[in-house]
Structure 1
Amino acid sequence: MSRTKQALAAAATPIGAIAVAGLEVVIPAAAACTGGWVGSNAPGLPSGWAGALGGALGLGLAAGVMQLLNSFKASLRALNRTSNSPATELSLEEPEEALPSHPQDVMDLLTQAAQAGAAHEAAFHSRKVDPAGALLDKKELWVGVDGTSAMFHLADGAYVYYEKDDSGKHPRHEYSFVAPATRTESVPVTSMDQVRDLLEQHVTRELKDEPVAA
Protein backbone atom coordinates (compact mmCIF):
# COMPACT_ATOMS: atom_id res chain seq x y z
CA MET A 1 0.00 0.00 0.00
CA SER A 2 1.42 3.38 -1.01
CA ARG A 3 1.51 6.38 1.35
CA THR A 4 -1.34 7.95 -0.63
CA LYS A 5 -3.48 4.87 -0.19
CA GLN A 6 -2.58 4.78 3.51
CA ALA A 7 -3.69 8.39 3.93
CA LEU A 8 -6.96 7.72 2.12
CA ALA A 9 -7.61 4.65 4.26
CA ALA A 10 -6.85 6.58 7.45
CA ALA A 11 -9.23 9.35 6.41
CA ALA A 12 -11.91 6.92 5.28
CA THR A 13 -12.10 4.81 8.45
CA PRO A 14 -13.48 7.56 10.76
CA ILE A 15 -16.05 8.51 8.15
CA GLY A 16 -17.00 4.86 7.72
CA ALA A 17 -17.37 4.43 11.48
CA ILE A 18 -19.75 7.41 11.70
CA ALA A 19 -21.76 6.12 8.77
CA VAL A 20 -22.07 2.65 10.30
CA ALA A 21 -23.21 4.12 13.61
CA GLY A 22 -26.02 5.92 11.83
CA LEU A 23 -26.95 2.86 9.80
CA GLU A 24 -27.22 0.77 12.98
CA VAL A 25 -30.17 2.93 13.98
CA VAL A 26 -31.80 3.66 10.65
CA ILE A 27 -31.57 0.35 8.77
CA PRO A 28 -32.89 -2.01 11.51
CA ALA A 29 -35.80 0.35 12.13
CA ALA A 30 -36.56 0.48 8.41
CA ALA A 31 -36.26 -3.30 8.14
CA ALA A 32 -38.62 -3.83 11.07
CA CYS A 33 -41.17 -1.45 9.61
CA THR A 34 -40.90 -3.10 6.19
CA GLY A 35 -41.34 -6.58 7.65
CA GLY A 36 -44.27 -5.42 9.79
CA TRP A 37 -45.97 -3.80 6.80
CA VAL A 38 -45.56 -6.90 4.65
CA GLY A 39 -46.91 -9.18 7.36
CA SER A 40 -49.80 -6.92 8.28
CA ASN A 41 -50.95 -6.62 4.69
CA ALA A 42 -50.68 -10.29 3.79
CA PRO A 43 -53.96 -11.21 2.02
CA GLY A 44 -56.37 -13.72 3.54
CA LEU A 45 -55.03 -13.68 7.10
CA PRO A 46 -57.02 -12.76 10.19
CA SER A 47 -55.91 -9.52 11.83
CA GLY A 48 -54.37 -11.37 14.80
CA TRP A 49 -52.33 -13.66 12.61
CA ALA A 50 -51.36 -10.76 10.35
CA GLY A 51 -50.04 -8.78 13.32
CA ALA A 52 -48.02 -11.74 14.61
CA LEU A 53 -46.62 -12.45 11.14
CA GLY A 54 -45.74 -8.81 10.68
CA GLY A 55 -43.85 -8.70 13.98
CA ALA A 56 -41.96 -11.90 13.18
CA LEU A 57 -40.98 -10.73 9.71
CA GLY A 58 -39.89 -7.34 11.03
CA LEU A 59 -37.71 -8.87 13.76
CA GLY A 60 -36.20 -11.40 11.37
CA LEU A 61 -35.36 -8.82 8.73
CA ALA A 62 -33.89 -6.47 11.33
CA ALA A 63 -31.74 -9.28 12.76
CA GLY A 64 -30.40 -10.16 9.30
CA VAL A 65 -29.51 -6.56 8.59
CA MET A 66 -27.73 -6.24 11.95
CA GLN A 67 -25.65 -9.32 11.18
CA LEU A 68 -24.51 -7.79 7.90
CA LEU A 69 -23.66 -4.51 9.66
CA ASN A 70 -21.63 -6.35 12.32
CA SER A 71 -19.63 -8.12 9.60
CA PHE A 72 -18.94 -4.77 7.90
CA LYS A 73 -17.85 -3.21 11.20
CA ALA A 74 -15.35 -6.02 11.79
CA SER A 75 -13.80 -5.39 8.37
CA LEU A 76 -13.69 -1.65 9.10
CA ARG A 77 -11.88 -2.19 12.40
CA ALA A 78 -9.33 -4.45 10.70
CA LEU A 79 -8.67 -1.77 8.07
CA ASN A 80 -8.24 0.87 10.76
CA ARG A 81 -5.71 -1.25 12.66
CA THR A 82 -3.74 -1.88 9.47
CA SER A 83 -3.65 1.78 8.38
CA ASN A 84 -2.66 3.10 11.83
CA SER A 85 -0.14 0.42 12.79
CA PRO A 86 3.28 2.00 13.62
CA ALA A 87 5.02 -1.20 12.56
CA THR A 88 3.38 -1.02 9.14
CA GLU A 89 4.34 2.65 8.70
CA LEU A 90 7.92 1.88 9.73
CA SER A 91 8.21 -0.93 7.20
CA LEU A 92 7.00 1.36 4.41
CA GLU A 93 9.58 4.07 5.08
CA GLU A 94 12.09 4.36 2.28
CA PRO A 95 15.63 3.56 3.44
CA GLU A 96 17.86 6.61 3.79
CA GLU A 97 20.91 6.85 1.58
CA ALA A 98 23.89 5.55 3.51
CA LEU A 99 27.43 6.89 3.37
CA PRO A 100 30.06 4.77 1.64
CA SER A 101 31.73 2.19 3.85
CA HIS A 102 35.26 3.00 2.66
CA PRO A 103 36.88 5.94 4.55
CA GLN A 104 38.50 7.33 1.40
CA ASP A 105 35.11 7.55 -0.31
CA VAL A 106 33.79 9.50 2.68
CA MET A 107 36.82 11.80 2.51
CA ASP A 108 36.08 12.45 -1.17
CA LEU A 109 32.49 13.36 -0.31
CA LEU A 110 33.69 15.75 2.39
CA THR A 111 36.09 17.39 -0.05
CA GLN A 112 33.30 17.87 -2.57
CA ALA A 113 31.07 19.31 0.15
CA ALA A 114 33.80 21.78 1.17
CA GLN A 115 34.28 22.87 -2.45
CA ALA A 116 30.54 23.29 -2.90
CA GLY A 117 30.45 25.37 0.28
CA ALA A 118 33.20 27.67 -1.02
CA ALA A 119 31.33 28.13 -4.33
CA HIS A 120 28.18 28.98 -2.39
CA GLU A 121 29.97 31.58 -0.25
CA ALA A 122 31.70 33.07 -3.30
CA ALA A 123 28.31 33.66 -4.95
CA PHE A 124 26.63 34.77 -1.72
CA HIS A 125 29.21 37.50 -0.89
CA SER A 126 29.80 38.61 -4.49
CA ARG A 127 27.56 41.69 -4.09
CA LYS A 128 30.62 43.61 -2.87
CA VAL A 129 31.93 43.34 -6.46
CA ASP A 130 28.68 42.80 -8.37
CA PRO A 131 26.08 44.78 -6.35
CA ALA A 132 23.37 44.26 -8.98
CA GLY A 133 23.75 40.50 -8.76
CA ALA A 134 23.98 40.40 -12.56
CA LEU A 135 26.68 37.75 -12.94
CA LEU A 136 28.85 36.75 -10.00
CA ASP A 137 25.93 35.68 -7.83
CA LYS A 138 25.28 32.63 -10.04
CA LYS A 139 26.41 29.82 -7.75
CA GLU A 140 26.45 27.20 -10.51
CA LEU A 141 29.21 29.15 -12.36
CA TRP A 142 31.61 29.08 -9.41
CA VAL A 143 33.97 26.12 -8.99
CA GLY A 144 35.27 25.44 -5.51
CA VAL A 145 39.03 25.04 -5.22
CA ASP A 146 38.98 24.01 -1.58
CA GLY A 147 36.91 24.85 1.47
CA THR A 148 37.78 28.57 1.43
CA SER A 149 38.37 29.50 -2.22
CA ALA A 150 36.62 29.28 -5.58
CA MET A 151 37.08 30.45 -9.17
CA PHE A 152 34.68 32.02 -11.69
CA HIS A 153 35.67 31.38 -15.32
CA LEU A 154 35.56 34.54 -17.47
CA ALA A 155 37.54 33.56 -20.58
CA ASP A 156 40.36 31.24 -21.57
CA GLY A 157 42.93 31.59 -18.81
CA ALA A 158 41.10 34.38 -16.94
CA TYR A 159 39.12 34.04 -13.71
CA VAL A 160 37.65 35.91 -10.80
CA TYR A 161 39.17 34.32 -7.74
CA TYR A 162 37.42 34.24 -4.36
CA GLU A 163 39.14 33.59 -1.05
CA LYS A 164 37.83 33.63 2.50
CA ASP A 165 40.26 34.99 5.08
CA ASP A 166 39.60 33.76 8.63
CA SER A 167 42.76 35.20 10.17
CA GLY A 168 41.04 38.23 11.73
CA LYS A 169 38.26 38.65 14.25
CA HIS A 170 35.70 38.63 11.44
CA PRO A 171 36.00 36.68 8.15
CA ARG A 172 36.93 38.67 5.07
CA HIS A 173 35.72 37.78 1.59
CA GLU A 174 38.22 38.88 -1.02
CA TYR A 175 37.93 38.85 -4.82
CA SER A 176 40.67 39.24 -7.40
CA PHE A 177 41.34 38.86 -11.10
CA VAL A 178 43.78 36.07 -12.00
CA ALA A 179 45.20 34.64 -15.21
CA PRO A 180 47.25 31.65 -14.06
CA ALA A 181 48.10 30.43 -17.58
CA THR A 182 50.26 33.50 -18.17
CA ARG A 183 51.47 33.66 -14.55
CA THR A 184 49.72 36.99 -14.09
CA GLU A 185 49.76 38.34 -10.55
CA SER A 186 46.34 38.45 -8.99
CA VAL A 187 44.74 41.92 -8.91
CA PRO A 188 42.18 42.67 -6.16
CA VAL A 189 38.84 43.77 -7.63
CA THR A 190 35.99 45.71 -6.08
CA SER A 191 33.72 46.44 -9.06
CA MET A 192 32.49 44.92 -12.30
CA ASP A 193 34.02 47.82 -14.27
CA GLN A 194 37.41 46.81 -12.93
CA VAL A 195 36.81 43.17 -13.82
CA ARG A 196 35.80 44.18 -17.38
CA ASP A 197 38.89 46.37 -17.88
CA LEU A 198 41.23 43.65 -16.61
CA LEU A 199 39.61 41.05 -18.85
CA GLU A 200 39.90 43.38 -21.85
CA GLN A 201 43.62 43.80 -21.19
CA HIS A 202 44.02 40.06 -20.88
CA VAL A 203 42.23 39.35 -24.17
CA THR A 204 43.78 42.12 -26.32
CA ARG A 205 47.37 42.25 -25.17
CA GLU A 206 50.00 40.29 -27.02
CA LEU A 207 50.90 36.91 -25.58
CA LYS A 208 54.01 37.85 -23.66
CA ASP A 209 55.10 37.41 -20.12
CA GLU A 210 53.98 40.65 -18.49
CA PRO A 211 51.48 41.31 -15.69
CA VAL A 212 48.07 42.88 -16.24
CA ALA A 213 48.06 46.53 -15.16
CA ALA A 214 46.22 47.16 -11.91
Structure 2
Amino acid sequence: MRFSECSRLLDPAPMPLEMGFERLDDGVLHVAIRTDMPRCTGAMFEWWFGFRPGTREYIWWHPTDHVASEWAETREGTHVGSIHHATERFTGSEPEQLAIQFRDPDEFFEPEALAAARAAGAVTGLICAHGGPGPEPKRKPDGSVIGTRLIHLCRDTPWGMALRTHFFMGHDIPGMGAPRAVLEEMFPDDLAPRLLQHCYDEFSTLARFLPSLYEAERRDQVPPTPPW
Protein backbone atom coordinates (compact mmCIF):
# COMPACT_ATOMS: atom_id res chain seq x y z
CA MET A 1 0.00 0.00 0.00
CA ARG A 2 1.28 3.45 -0.93
CA PHE A 3 0.76 6.50 1.22
CA SER A 4 -1.59 7.85 -1.46
CA GLU A 5 -3.84 4.84 -0.75
CA CYS A 6 -4.09 5.39 3.01
CA SER A 7 -7.83 6.15 2.77
CA ARG A 8 -8.18 2.35 2.70
CA LEU A 9 -7.47 2.45 6.43
CA LEU A 10 -10.84 4.12 7.03
CA ASP A 11 -12.52 0.78 6.26
CA PRO A 12 -12.23 -1.75 9.13
CA ALA A 13 -12.33 -4.73 6.73
CA PRO A 14 -9.09 -6.78 6.69
CA MET A 15 -6.38 -5.51 4.37
CA PRO A 16 -3.83 -7.55 2.39
CA LEU A 17 -1.13 -6.24 4.72
CA GLU A 18 -2.33 -5.80 8.30
CA MET A 19 0.95 -6.94 9.88
CA GLY A 20 4.17 -6.99 7.90
CA PHE A 21 6.39 -4.89 5.64
CA GLU A 22 7.18 -4.28 1.99
CA ARG A 23 9.58 -2.27 -0.15
CA LEU A 24 7.60 -0.15 -2.61
CA ASP A 25 8.74 0.42 -6.19
CA ASP A 26 10.10 3.89 -5.43
CA GLY A 27 12.13 2.58 -2.48
CA VAL A 28 9.82 3.68 0.34
CA LEU A 29 9.74 1.13 3.19
CA HIS A 30 6.14 0.46 4.28
CA VAL A 31 5.68 -1.15 7.70
CA ALA A 32 2.22 -2.16 9.01
CA ILE A 33 1.44 -3.16 12.61
CA ARG A 34 -1.86 -4.25 14.14
CA THR A 35 -2.06 -4.08 17.95
CA ASP A 36 -5.04 -5.03 20.10
CA MET A 37 -5.27 -2.77 23.16
CA PRO A 38 -7.76 -4.24 25.71
CA ARG A 39 -9.81 -1.76 27.79
CA CYS A 40 -8.44 1.18 25.79
CA THR A 41 -10.32 3.63 23.57
CA GLY A 42 -9.43 6.02 20.79
CA ALA A 43 -10.11 8.93 23.15
CA MET A 44 -7.52 7.55 25.58
CA PHE A 45 -5.01 7.09 22.78
CA GLU A 46 -5.34 10.66 21.52
CA TRP A 47 -5.17 11.93 25.11
CA TRP A 48 -1.85 10.13 25.64
CA PHE A 49 -0.18 12.17 22.89
CA GLY A 50 -1.73 15.38 24.22
CA PHE A 51 -0.41 14.38 27.66
CA ARG A 52 3.08 14.70 26.11
CA PRO A 53 4.88 12.00 28.13
CA GLY A 54 8.25 13.07 29.52
CA THR A 55 11.22 10.75 29.91
CA ARG A 56 9.82 8.92 32.94
CA GLU A 57 6.46 8.19 31.28
CA TYR A 58 8.20 7.47 27.98
CA ILE A 59 10.19 4.71 29.66
CA TRP A 60 6.96 3.30 31.14
CA TRP A 61 5.74 3.09 27.55
CA HIS A 62 8.62 0.81 26.48
CA PRO A 63 11.06 0.00 29.33
CA THR A 64 13.55 -1.65 26.98
CA ASP A 65 13.71 0.65 23.96
CA HIS A 66 12.73 4.13 25.13
CA VAL A 67 15.55 6.36 26.39
CA ALA A 68 14.52 10.04 26.52
CA SER A 69 11.61 12.33 25.63
CA GLU A 70 11.29 16.09 25.11
CA TRP A 71 8.66 18.26 23.40
CA ALA A 72 8.85 21.46 21.38
CA GLU A 73 6.51 23.83 19.54
CA THR A 74 3.61 22.72 21.73
CA ARG A 75 0.13 24.25 21.76
CA GLU A 76 -2.30 24.14 24.65
CA GLY A 77 -5.04 21.53 24.36
CA THR A 78 -3.71 19.63 21.33
CA HIS A 79 -0.81 17.48 20.21
CA VAL A 80 -1.16 18.80 16.63
CA GLY A 81 1.76 21.01 15.67
CA SER A 82 4.04 19.78 18.44
CA ILE A 83 7.35 18.02 17.85
CA HIS A 84 8.33 15.02 19.96
CA HIS A 85 12.11 14.74 20.27
CA ALA A 86 12.50 11.07 21.13
CA THR A 87 15.56 8.95 21.76
CA GLU A 88 14.82 5.26 21.32
CA ARG A 89 16.10 1.91 20.16
CA PHE A 90 14.43 -0.33 17.61
CA THR A 91 14.56 -3.84 19.09
CA GLY A 92 18.25 -4.20 19.77
CA SER A 93 19.64 -1.26 17.82
CA GLU A 94 21.71 1.58 19.23
CA PRO A 95 19.68 4.57 20.47
CA GLU A 96 18.59 6.99 17.75
CA GLN A 97 17.31 10.56 17.96
CA LEU A 98 14.06 11.25 16.11
CA ALA A 99 11.83 14.27 15.59
CA ILE A 100 8.14 13.38 15.24
CA GLN A 101 5.95 16.27 14.13
CA PHE A 102 2.23 15.77 14.71
CA ARG A 103 -0.03 16.97 11.91
CA ASP A 104 -3.74 17.56 11.32
CA PRO A 105 -5.33 14.30 10.05
CA ASP A 106 -7.11 16.30 7.33
CA GLU A 107 -3.68 16.63 5.67
CA PHE A 108 -3.53 12.83 5.33
CA PHE A 109 -7.17 11.94 4.65
CA GLU A 110 -9.98 13.49 2.61
CA PRO A 111 -11.92 15.42 5.29
CA GLU A 112 -15.42 14.28 4.26
CA ALA A 113 -14.40 10.60 4.10
CA LEU A 114 -12.71 10.88 7.49
CA ALA A 115 -15.76 12.58 9.02
CA ALA A 116 -17.99 9.79 7.68
CA ALA A 117 -15.67 7.12 9.13
CA ARG A 118 -15.72 8.83 12.51
CA ALA A 119 -19.52 9.10 12.44
CA ALA A 120 -19.77 5.38 11.63
CA GLY A 121 -17.42 4.40 14.47
CA ALA A 122 -14.81 3.04 12.07
CA VAL A 123 -12.35 5.65 13.39
CA THR A 124 -12.40 6.68 17.06
CA GLY A 125 -8.89 8.06 17.34
CA LEU A 126 -6.26 9.20 14.86
CA ILE A 127 -2.66 10.36 15.18
CA CYS A 128 -0.81 11.51 12.06
CA ALA A 129 2.79 12.65 11.91
CA HIS A 130 5.86 13.45 9.85
CA GLY A 131 9.17 12.10 11.12
CA GLY A 132 12.82 12.84 10.54
CA PRO A 133 16.20 11.89 12.02
CA GLY A 134 18.09 13.92 14.60
CA PRO A 135 17.18 16.92 16.74
CA GLU A 136 16.98 19.29 13.74
CA PRO A 137 15.40 17.42 10.82
CA LYS A 138 15.08 18.94 7.38
CA ARG A 139 11.84 20.79 6.68
CA LYS A 140 9.84 22.04 3.73
CA PRO A 141 9.18 25.79 3.36
CA ASP A 142 5.84 25.32 5.16
CA GLY A 143 7.67 23.98 8.22
CA SER A 144 6.67 20.32 7.80
CA VAL A 145 9.36 17.76 8.62
CA ILE A 146 10.74 15.79 5.68
CA GLY A 147 11.19 12.02 5.77
CA THR A 148 8.68 9.48 7.08
CA ARG A 149 4.88 9.56 7.31
CA LEU A 150 3.19 7.86 10.27
CA ILE A 151 -0.45 6.95 10.92
CA HIS A 152 -1.98 5.51 14.11
CA LEU A 153 -5.67 4.75 13.49
CA CYS A 154 -7.94 3.55 16.32
CA ARG A 155 -11.26 1.71 16.28
CA ASP A 156 -13.17 1.01 19.49
CA THR A 157 -14.61 -2.48 20.01
CA PRO A 158 -16.57 -4.18 22.83
CA TRP A 159 -13.29 -5.51 24.28
CA GLY A 160 -11.13 -2.41 23.83
CA MET A 161 -9.40 -0.83 20.85
CA ALA A 162 -7.91 -2.10 17.60
CA LEU A 163 -4.90 -0.05 16.52
CA ARG A 164 -3.58 0.09 12.97
CA THR A 165 -0.14 1.67 12.62
CA HIS A 166 1.48 2.36 9.26
CA PHE A 167 4.92 3.82 8.55
CA PHE A 168 5.92 5.07 5.11
CA MET A 169 9.64 5.48 5.65
CA GLY A 170 11.26 7.88 3.22
CA HIS A 171 7.97 9.01 1.71
CA ASP A 172 9.21 12.53 0.86
CA ILE A 173 12.61 11.47 -0.47
CA PRO A 174 11.69 10.16 -3.97
CA GLY A 175 9.98 13.47 -4.74
CA MET A 176 13.26 15.23 -4.03
CA GLY A 177 14.98 13.27 -6.80
CA ALA A 178 16.68 10.64 -4.66
CA PRO A 179 17.05 7.22 -6.32
CA ARG A 180 15.81 4.00 -4.73
CA ALA A 181 19.34 3.10 -3.60
CA VAL A 182 19.41 6.17 -1.33
CA LEU A 183 16.26 5.06 0.47
CA GLU A 184 17.53 1.49 0.80
CA GLU A 185 20.61 2.86 2.55
CA MET A 186 18.65 5.26 4.77
CA PHE A 187 15.99 2.69 5.67
CA PRO A 188 17.53 -0.80 5.24
CA ASP A 189 15.39 -3.91 4.97
CA ASP A 190 16.42 -5.17 8.40
CA LEU A 191 14.89 -2.08 10.00
CA ALA A 192 11.37 -3.21 9.09
CA PRO A 193 11.04 -6.29 11.38
CA ARG A 194 12.78 -4.45 14.22
CA LEU A 195 10.39 -1.49 13.90
CA LEU A 196 7.40 -3.82 13.69
CA GLN A 197 8.37 -5.59 16.92
CA HIS A 198 9.21 -2.31 18.65
CA CYS A 199 5.85 -0.78 17.79
CA TYR A 200 3.85 -3.88 18.77
CA ASP A 201 5.72 -4.07 22.09
CA GLU A 202 5.31 -0.39 22.97
CA PHE A 203 1.57 -0.28 22.37
CA SER A 204 0.96 -3.63 24.03
CA THR A 205 2.81 -2.21 27.05
CA LEU A 206 0.88 1.07 26.92
CA ALA A 207 -2.41 -0.84 27.01
CA ARG A 208 -1.48 -2.26 30.42
CA PHE A 209 -1.57 1.11 32.20
CA LEU A 210 -3.24 3.67 29.91
CA PRO A 211 -6.84 3.13 31.18
CA SER A 212 -5.85 3.67 34.82
CA LEU A 213 -3.65 6.68 34.05
CA TYR A 214 -6.36 8.23 31.87
CA GLU A 215 -8.93 7.82 34.64
CA ALA A 216 -6.62 9.21 37.33
CA GLU A 217 -5.46 12.23 35.34
CA ARG A 218 -9.07 13.17 34.48
CA ARG A 219 -10.61 12.50 37.88
CA ASP A 220 -11.74 16.13 38.28
CA GLN A 221 -13.69 15.91 35.03
CA VAL A 222 -15.03 12.36 35.30
CA PRO A 223 -15.18 10.90 38.84
CA PRO A 224 -13.59 7.41 38.91
CA THR A 225 -15.72 4.37 39.68
CA PRO A 226 -14.19 2.27 42.49
CA PRO A 227 -13.98 -1.43 41.57
CA TRP A 228 -15.52 -2.63 44.87
TM-score, length basis structure 2 = 0.21
**Structure possessing the higher radius of gyration over alpha carbons:** 1
TM-score, length basis structure 1 = 0.22
Higher relative contact order (CA 8 A, sep 6+): 2
Structure 1 or 2: larger strand share? 2
